[in-house]
Amino acid sequence: MKERVIHNVIQEMLPFLSNNQLEKLKKILSFELEKIEFSKNKDEKLQIESNTQLIELFISAKRVEGCSEKSLGYYRTAIEKMVIEINKPIKEIVTDDLRIYLTNYQEKKNLSRMTIDNMRRIFSSFFSWLEDEDYILKSPVRRIHKIKSATVVKETYTDESLEIMRDNCKSLRDLALIDMLTSTGMRIGELVLLNIEDINFNERECIVFGKGNKERIVYFDARTKIHLKNYLESRNDKNNALFVSLKKPHNRITIGGIETRLRKLGRELNIPRVHPHKFRRTLATIAIDKGMPIEQLQRLLGHQRIDTTLQYAMVKQSNVKLAHKKYIS
């Protein structure tokens, strides 16, 4: 690029300057253009450093607030992709930049509106933090409203499905595992961290560490207590984890291990979409249908916001009809 500019200028000046003058002009052009290129590279480097520093400061702040490393990784990836694509200093990004980015990203990746709204919320959190910390005057996400998406009623397990799974468990561990998920509604990430000493059999309860390392108590029923005791008494390993792999060396079971086992069980029994989170959603739905106050269910599930709890609980239409007769008809 630089050589082409010098060549064009020299060609234009040929009729007006001597050879010595042309040579001098060539040296001056080369020197001045070199300074411009150096300055440009320096500015770009400073921009990259500034963007990186702001992202790192935000991630550090969220880590202090108690966000999990998984969430932090999701935040970092989403923000870094956006900054690279927009190709501006973060402090210069405006609302239209983000709108265009989200629109193009959705079309390119064929993503759902819900996924795009999750990205919007991440950007909102990032730029709101920049605003609060006085790095920017006003968040450009303020004028990007929540992206509406169709409400999808997610499936829950029927009573029959749960009993069929219990009846067809080939190991005491799997039976205790399904009972634990069914009666407590805990997250799969919370279950794999449980140790044997965390279980209080007398009170039928245990302490779990939820999102943000927050402790809460969850409860299990009498059937779970019996099956869990039977499983623990059958073990001959030294591992203090509540659930371990069936094969030696009997390591603590992983999230992936549970997901794989449940998918296989679902295929064998012809039960569609068997996965750990569905147990949590089932418990929430049953609790609401039986009249459990939403605030208590929120505490049981470990949700910070009650809106999240309401998304889990799908009230049956038959109960809506009964409620109508009771309170209105």
Examine residue 89 and say whether the peptide bond preceding it is cis (omega within 30 degrees of 0).
no
Q: 303 catalytic, yes or no?
A: yes
3-class DSSP state for residue 252?
A: strand
Contacts of 229 (CB under 8 A, 6+ apart): 201
Q: Which of 211, 225, 235, 250 is catalytic?
A: 211
Largest CA distance in the chain: 103
Q: 277 catalytic, yes or no?
A: yes
Q: Which of 120, 187, 278, 281 is catalytic?
A: 187
Q: Which of 75, 157, 231, 312 is catalytic?
A: 312
Q: 4 catalytic, yes or no?
A: no
**Among candidate residues 271, 275, 238, 279, the one with its CA nearest the CA of residue 258:** 275
Q: Which of 120, 173, 278, 303 is catalytic?
A: 303
Paired tokens of 139? 């968040």
CA distances from 13 to 1, 7, 9, 18, 82 (A): 19, 10, 6, 9, 46
Backbone Cα Rg of the chain:
30
**Residues comprising the chain, all counted:** 329
Q: 327 catalytic, yes or no?
A: no
Cα 60–Cα 304–Cα 126 angle in degrees, nearest 5: 35
Q: 7 catalytic, yes or no?
A: no
- CB of 121 closer than 8 Å to CB of 78: no
Q: Which of 138, 277, 299, 316 is catalytic?
A: 277
**Among candidate residues 266, 66, 278, 264, the one with its CA nearest the CA of residue 188:** 278
- CB of 25 closer than 8 Å to CB of 13: yes
Q: 324 catalytic, yes or no?
A: no
Q: Which residues pair with residue 241 across a beta bridge?
A: 195
Q: Which residues pair with residue 195 across a beta bridge?
A: 241
Catalytic residues: 187, 211, 277, 280, 303, 312
